Amino acid sequence: MRRLAIEFCRRLTQGPFDQALARGNMAQVQVLFFGRMADITGMRKTVRDADSLVGLRDSLFAGDAAAVRMSVNQVQVFSDQTLADGDEVAFFSVFSGG
C-alpha cells in the first residue's frame, strides 16, 4: 500500500515532459475503432502508448491483424510508420460500396 501511495505522489509531481521522457520512444496516441474493429475490441475510442503503427495494430488485433485497415491523422496508410504524441490512429475493417 505504501509503495502505491509513493507512486501516486511521484506521478502527481511529474509534468507532461517528465511523463513523456519516462515513456521512452513511445507516443501517446488517440485510437479510434470503427465497424468490426469496434466489435472485436469492445471499444470505440481509447488512448494508448505506442511507438509504431504496426506494433499498435498487432498488440490490439493479434489474430486478425491482416484484415485491419489503418489511418493516421485521417489519412489511410498501408505500411508501418513511427507515431508521434497526439496522433489520431483509426482502425477499421475492409469495406465495399455499391
Q: Provide the residue ranges of all domains of the chain, joining segments of one domain with +.
A: 25-93
Task: Tell me what pLDDT residue 64 has.
Answer: 73
Higher pLDDT, 11 or 47: 47
Mean pLDDT, rounded, for 16-36: 74
Mean pLDDT, rounded, for 58-82: 89
Share of the chain above pLDDT 90, in %: 55
The yes-or-no verdict on residue 48 having pLDDT over 60 is yes
Q: Is residue 31 within 8 Å of residue 48, measured between CB atoms?
A: yes
Handedness of CA 38, 91, 72, 28 (dihedral sign): positive
Task: Tell me what pLDDT residue 98 has.
Answer: 55
Task: Tell me what pLDDT residue 66 has.
Answer: 76
CATH assignment of 25-93, among 1.10.274.50, 3.20.20.70, 3.30.565.10, 3.10.20.30: 3.10.20.30
Please tell me the least confidently modeled range out of 11-20, 44-53, 62-71, 80-89.
Answer: 11-20
Task: Tell me what pLDDT residue 94 has.
Answer: 83
DSSP string, 48-97: EEESBHHHHHHHH-TTTGGGEEEEETTEEE-S--B--TT-EEEEEE----
